[in-house]
Amino acid sequence: MWFLIILAILIIVCLLLSVKIVRQSEVYIIERLGKFHKVADAGLTIIIPFVDHVRSIVSLKQQTLDIQPQEVITKDNVTITINTVVFYKVIDPAKAVYEIQSLKKGIEYLSVTSMRDLVGKMDLDSTFSSRDIINDKLRAILDEAANKWGCTIDRVEVQDITPPPDIRDAMEKQMNAERNKRAAILQAEGERQAAVLKAQGEKEAAILQADADREAKIRRAAGDADAIRRVAEAKAEEVKMVYSAMMKANPNQTLVQLKSLETLKDVANGDANKVFIPFEATSALASLGTLAESVKDNKEKTDSKDAVKDEESKE
């Protein structure tokens, strides 16, 4: 009776020990008599009690490894502190268990030594401005070594780069000086652009004013010319009317010339008028002068005759 009870208990214990339930994103490394047997995936797995043994449970999720801040000496002999984070994922659980004692320790040590080697070839300014380059090179180095351990390195991120306090103060002063320099340059550039725009505006205004003055003078000259033309046309029309009236009255040549001279006198009254006396008019003037002299001589002769008569009567 007791034997059956003990046997039943042993069977139950064996069943419990032989049944393993593997969770999602995990695998079991199963050893049989101390030797690697298989990799148990997610789900139900049966093993032989006291013969098979679960060596390790390996997670297939992407994992992060925060590496403690490390002091690194740059090419220009400046000691800085760098903190990095490594993102890795196990792709071969058997290698991750059997190829290295501690996968996390191996990645951490390799990351520290690789970081010191990379930064030691760069100066301080390049270290701050080349984080992407450091991340890519460090990831390539770690991935090449981690493939032997059954994992892949997805990303490496440099979280923080901390220089010494004196270097930090000098950098802040340099940045302030650079900001002041940029501000002065921007202000000078703004003033230059303002001066250029102002000069261009004054130039355009002067050009527009000159164009306006020129247009005004042109219009004024055109108006004066039109006014002169209209006056000349009016005078010409007046001359035509006088000439027509004289022709109707059948005048002699001397009278026509005299009337023409009177009309020319009226035309010449304007300030801008220039009068050209034709040759026929000068002939008429000469005739008038001769006539005037003849009248004068006749008058003198008549006066002398009257004087002689007066004297004879007195005697």
Whole-angstrom Cα distance, residue 65 to residue 67?
A: 6
Residue 16, CA atoms < 13 Å, CB-side half-sphere: 6
Comparing 152 with 6, the larger pLDDT belongs to 152
Maximum pairwise Cα distance, the chain: 221
pLDDT at 279: 46
pTM reported for the whole predicted model: 0.53
Helix or strand or coil: residue 211?
Answer: helix
Locus of tokens 């449970």: 57
How is residue 251 annotated by DSSP?
-
Specify the DSSP element, H or E, that contains 101.
Answer: none
Contact criterion met (CB below 8 Å) for 83 and 159: yes
β pairing state of 52-59 and 26-32 = antiparallel
Ranking 15-19, 53-57, 137-141, 176-180 by mean pLDDT, the lowest is 15-19
Structure tokens at 95: 């290698």
Contact criterion met (CB below 8 Å) for 139 and 156: yes
Task: Share the mean pLDDT of the chain.
Answer: 78
Ranking 18-32, 125-139, 293-307 by mean pLDDT, the lowest is 293-307
Q: Count Cβ atoms within 10 A of the Cβ of residue 190 and give its class: 0-12 exposed, 13-18 middle, 19 or more buried.
A: exposed
* Residues near 270 by beta carbon (within 8 Å), at least 6 away in sequence: 228, 231
- CB contact burial 238-257 (16+ within 10 A = b; e otherwise): ebeeeeeeeeeeeeeeeebb
pLDDT single digits (tens) 239-293: 777 667 666 665 555 555 565 556 555 555 555 445 445 545 455 445 545 544 5
* Residues near 22 by beta carbon (within 8 Å), at least 6 away in sequence: 28, 40, 41, 42, 43, 44, 45
* Residues near 25 by beta carbon (within 8 Å), at least 6 away in sequence: 42, 59, 60, 61
